[in-house]
Structure 1
Amino acid sequence: MSSDRIRVAVILSSVRRGRFGPTIANWFVGTADQRDDIEVDLIDLADYPLPTGLSDQPEPDVAELLAAFSARLAEADGFVVVTPEYNHSFPASLKAAVDWTQHEWHAKPVGFVGYGGLAGGLRAVQQLKHIFTELHAVPVRDAVSFHGPWSQFDADGNLTEPADAEAAAKTLWDKLSWWALATKEAKARRPYDN
């Protein structure tokens, strides 16, 4: 892999039955198909059911799950979190994933794709920016937001009117790529002090 190519973990955070997140996550991952500077790893938190209660030592089955999840995060140069807005916030599954990890996020950019009702997931995104800042990550200013996305996608998961969303996705990928290369180069010169 070229040193100018970045690996981005796209994290699908909703784990609810009947969730709409896979439609949006798959669409967003597809927007990177034409780019030669990005390699995407789609991580579905439904595959990593980490407990929401933390303890000093996780149970053996949780420890194994956590090790696999942590390894995928550690391999990434940057992240994009695809999150719904539940009760003006983000899902507990995402908070658990963040709370069980720490150093994997350090000095790496994090972008956001939010979705929901009238606010389009932006209240969840705003809260997440504070949390990721605490984890020494670099939240990207630009985001993709879907207000009432259920009527914006067809049965095959394609946007019915893609222009605005595709433009927002391109901006997010461009900014995330810049920050990922900048932090990657900086860490190569001087390791980030965890």
Structure 2
Amino acid sequence: MDLTTPENGAPLKLAVILSSNREGRFGPVIADWFLSRTAGRDDFAVDLIDLADADLPTTLSYQPGSAARAALAKVSPKLSAADAFVVLTPEYNHSFPASLKSLIDWHFTQWQAKPVGFVSYGGISGGLRAVEQLRQVFAEMHAVTVRDTVSFHNAATHFDGEGRHKDPAACDAAAKVMLDQLAWWGNALRTAKSAHPYGQA
């Protein structure tokens, strides 16, 4: 049996999270490239969550006010509905953006028993230091991070003025490996949760 193909025929709901909300960000170029890599796959139904549009407050509360509830209403249902996630993250000062940490911290059950893949970008490190920290954070949220990542070192130098990668063979192959792993875990966890909901004794 090939676990990259859902047994019930339904594609996995994949939430792609564009983490950067920085002015002049490069993230949309990375997002457009990655979404084009998912376009030809029938095992995923993709939904983009752009944190530049989310405007989540950094002050956490068990009883959020009306503004916080309105901001959460834009993202929380999408996270709840997702079977799997791909986080597109830059690296800022050896870590990931505050906008992403805020999204993670406002939620808990939405992440549980779901797989997470990473596409990172930055300078010489390619965002990999941000990814290593995110693995620890998502482990605390009971999520499963897949091993293989896609990373862009000195990212802006690899794309032309139209946002096309100049030599896409290696990054296309890396994206396929990561998405295949995500599909395997997404289907395995979805099947497991349907038989025995996560967290129940």
In the superposition, the TM-score normalised over structure 1's length comes to 0.97
**Could you tell me which residue of structure 1 aligns to residue 109 of structure 2?**
103
What SS does structure 2 have at the residue aligned with 1:110? strand
What SS does structure 2 have at the residue aligned with 1:46? coil
Cα deviation digits, residues 73-105 of structure 1 (max 9, x gap) = 011100000000000000000000001111100
**Could you tell me which residue of structure 1 aligns to residue 3 of structure 2?**
none
Q: Which whole-Å CA distance do the structure 2 matches of 1:21 and 1:68 have between them?
A: 20
The Cα shift of 1:4 comes to 4.5
Identity rate of aligned residues, in percent? 55
What SS does structure 2 have at the residue aligned with 1:8? strand
Question: Does residue 125 of structure 1 match 2:148?
Answer: no
Question: Does residue 36 of structure 1 match 2:42?
Answer: yes
Opposite residue 84 of structure 2, the aligned amino acid is G
Cα deviation digits, residues 47-88 of structure 1 (max 9, x gap) = 111112212321201112213311000111000000000000
**Could you tell me which residue of structure 2 aligns to residue 81 of structure 1?**
87
**Could you tell me which residue of structure 2 aligns to residue 192 of structure 1?**
198
**Could you tell me which residue of structure 2 aligns to residue 26 of structure 1?**
32
Q: Which whole-Å CA distance do the structure 1 matches of 2:155 and 2:169 have between them?
A: 14
The 5 Å alignment of 1:1-194 reads 3-193=9-199
Q: Structure 1 stretches of 5 or more lacking a match?
A: none
What SS does structure 1 have at the residue aligned with 2:138? helix
Aligned length, in residue pairs: 194
Q: Which whole-Å CA distance do the structure 2 matches of 1:65 and 1:54 have between them?
A: 13
CA RMSD of aligned residues (A): 1.3
What SS does structure 2 have at the residue aligned with 1:168? helix
Q: Which whole-Å CA distance do the structure 1 matches of 2:157 and 2:11 have between them?
A: 35
Q: Which whole-Å CA distance do the structure 2 matches of 1:3 and 1:92 have between them?
A: 37
In the superposition, the TM-score normalised over structure 2's length comes to 0.93
What SS does structure 1 have at the residue aligned with 2:146? strand
